[in-house]
Amino acid sequence: MSGHPSTYEPKYAAAKWMDQRLPIIRMGADFMTFPSPRNLNYWYTFGGILALCLVVQILSGVILAMHYVADVDKAFASVQRIRRDVPFGWLLQSMHAVGASMFFLAVYMHMFRGLYYGSYKAPREVIWILGCAIYLAMMATAFLGYTLPWGQMSFWGATVITGFFGAVPVVGESLQQWLLGGYSVDNATLNRFFALHYLLPFVIAALVGLHVWALHHVGQNNPIGISAKTKEDTLSFHPFYTVKDAFAIAVFFVIFAIFLFYLPDALGHADNYIEADPMKTPPHIVPEWYFLPFYAILRAVPSKLFGILLMLGAIVVLFVLPWLDTHKVRSMRFRPIAKWFFIIFIVMCFILGWCGAGTPSDVAIPIGKGMTFYVLSQIATVYYFAYFLIILPVLGLVEKPLKRPDSITKAVLGEQKSDADLASA
């Protein structure tokens, strides 16, 4: 699964025997010796962090499925039982719920990294598209999973999101009822959501396999965006990046642990501790924090169908990004104008998140008569799309890049030619 010539030599007879039949050890060994650019910074550790996040979610999820009951009358109580009576259930349930947030936190960091360093540009378009597919599958999984505890937010979140399908012209209502398996979110819905929530993570795992395969075929991008040319430009993945990733993972897990053990509910919503009640909607329905920017885009337009299309568009635009940003320089380190637009883009993403959490009619910024969240979310939505559809394509034509180093080694070592020079100096 790697694009570099194999250097693996079986040491033992048994290993040799296996290598001739199924070269799985060779695959692992080649993975570990994969030549990686020597200048990868900490932003490049999120891939490893995400792999571990997926493992944590699948492991804790399979365990929770042993105790969870997918039945509208018992689901909420079964979660309470997990938290109160199952040995270490409180830990595993919290780990899964907080883990979902951590997964998204890491994936956003990973995506912003890719956007900044131009990791979506040729020849890495397929890596990027697979990444977008993973993100989409993660969103679906998170949404399905959030329904399972059968709290008020679970129920009403599911009602609102499945309502999107009702906006499809002509077949909308039939489509929605087919998805729900009834007239509304009910037992049939809960059961299929549970089944799909269990299935999708394995789809994600498969997509991750392809994502990594594609990455190993073309090689990693790096902060200066200049491809590795010589052997000097690269380092063996192990031990250099295994140890760096491991360190980053440990630091990330400190943050994970702070939330898990001290703020387990900080990222959730109090209403989800109330059992689902189809007769009563909570006063403020808000999605989990990681969906808030999209929720703000949804609410930024007064039309239901157009809002949904816009929200979907916000994700679709990511898939076609490799063909929107036509600038031939990958890293924004050498793109003085794009860099600033990118920073504004990140700010706008946070503003969208903030708008998603607020009530549209409330005043967000006290200027003039007061700017409401509604207006603010419209401004941010316009910028979001403009960034991809106008700013990047135009900059691709007009932006003059800064002078770039010739190679990774030159960038790292400056005037010196090699490490040997450094040592002798």
Partner 1 sequence: MSDNQPDDGSKRDFIFLATGAVAAAGGASLAWPLVAQMGKAADTLAAGSIEIDLSKIAEGQQLKMLWRGKPVFVRHRTAAEIEVAEAVELTELKDPEADVDRLIAGPSGAVNQKYLVMVGVCTHFGCVPVGEAGDFEGWYCPCHGSHYDTSGRIRKGPAPKNMVIPPYEYISDNVIKVG
Partner 2 sequence: MAFMKLKTLIIGSVVAAASVAGLAFAAGGGGTGDYHMEHKDWSFNGAFGKYDRAAAQRGYQVYREVCSSCHQLKFLAFRHLGDKGAPFYLEDFPNPNDNPYVKNFAADWNVEDIDSDNGDTIERPGIPADYFPPIFPNDAAARASNGGALPPELSVIAKARTNGPDYIYNLMLAYSAHKPDDVELTPGLYYNPVMDGGKIAMAAPLSDGLVEYEAIEVEDHGKIKTIPAPEATVEQMSSDLVQFLAWSADPKMEQRKSTGLMTIIYLLILSLLLFLSYKRVWRNVKH
Side chain identity, residue 394: V
58 belongs to the binding site for partner 1 (CB under 8 A): no
Which span (122-130, 234-242, 307-315, 346-354) binds partner 1, by CB under 8 A?
Answer: 234-242
Count interface residues toward partner 2 (CB under 8 A). Answer: 64
Residue 86 contacts which entry, partner 1, partner 2, none (Cβ below 5-8 A, type-dependent): partner 1
The alpha carbon of 11 is separated from its chain's Cα centroid by a whole number of angstroms, namely 40
Residue 156 near residue 281, CB atoms below 8 Å: yes
- Binding site partner of 192, from partner 2, partner 1, none, Cβ cut-off 5-8 A by kind: none
Q: What are phi and psi of 122, to 5 degrees?
A: -50, 135
Residue 255 binds partner 2 (CB under 8 A): yes
Interface of this chain with partner 1, residues 134 to 193, rule: CB under 8 A: none
- Applying CB under 8 A, among 13, 22, 66, 398 the residue interacting with partner 1 is 66
Residue 11 contacts partner 1 per CB under 8 A: no
Give the three-state DSSP class for 151.
Answer: strand
Quick one: 17 or 247, whose CB is closer to partner 1?
247
> Which of residues 7 and 174 has its CB atom nearest to partner 1 in the complex?
7
Q: Binding to partner 2 (CB under 8 A): which residues in 41-100?
A: 41-43, 77, 80-81, 83-84, 90-91, 94
Q: What is the dihedral of CA 129, 139, 63, 157, to 10 degrees?
A: -170
Pick what 270 binds: partner 2, partner 1, none; C-beta below 5 to 8 Å, kind-dependent.
Answer: partner 2
Q: Is 201 helix (H, G, I), strand (E, B) or coil?
A: helix
DSSP 275: B
CA distances, 99 to each of 28, 54, 93, 263 (Å): 27, 9, 10, 12
Q: Which of 299, 326, 324 is nearest to 381 (CA)?
A: 299
* Minimum distance from residue 175 beta carbon to partner 2 (Å): 31
- The first and second tokens of residue 416, run together, are 């010196």
Give 306 or 354: the residue with its C-beta nearer to partner 2. 354
Burial letters 181-193, b for 16+ CB under 10 A, else e = eeeebeeebbeeb
Cβ contact 94:260 at 8 Å: yes
Given partner 2, partner 1, none, residue 17, with its beta carbon under 5 to 8 Å by kind, binds none
Smallest gap from Cβ 208 to partner 2, in A, equals 22
Amino acid letter, residue 396 = G
84 interacts with partner 1 by CB under 8 A: yes
Name which of 120 and 290 has its Cβ closer to partner 2: 290
Nearest distance in Å: CB 259, partner 1: 17
Query: Which residue type is seen at 345?
Result: F
| Residue 93 near residue 75 (C-beta atoms within 8 A) | no
**According to the binding rule CB under 8 A, does residue 88 interact with partner 1?**
yes
Instruction: Give the three-state DSSP class for 365.
Output: strand
**SS3 annotation, 38-99:** CCCCHHHHHHHHHHHHHHHHHHHHHHHHHHCCCCCCCHHHHHHHHHHCCCCHHHHHHHHHHH
Instruction: Provide, rounded to whole angstroms, the least separation between the CB of residue 257 and partner 2.
Output: 5
**Footprint of partner 2 on this chain (CB under 8 A)?**
38-39, 41-43, 77, 80-81, 83-84, 90-91, 94, 101, 105, 108-109, 235, 239-240, 243-244, 246-248, 250-255, 257-271, 273-274, 283-284, 286, 289, 292, 350, 353-354, 356-358, 412-413, 419, 422-423
**Footprint of partner 1 on this chain (CB under 8 A)?**
59, 63, 66-67, 81, 84-89, 91-92, 231-232, 234-236, 239, 246, 419-420
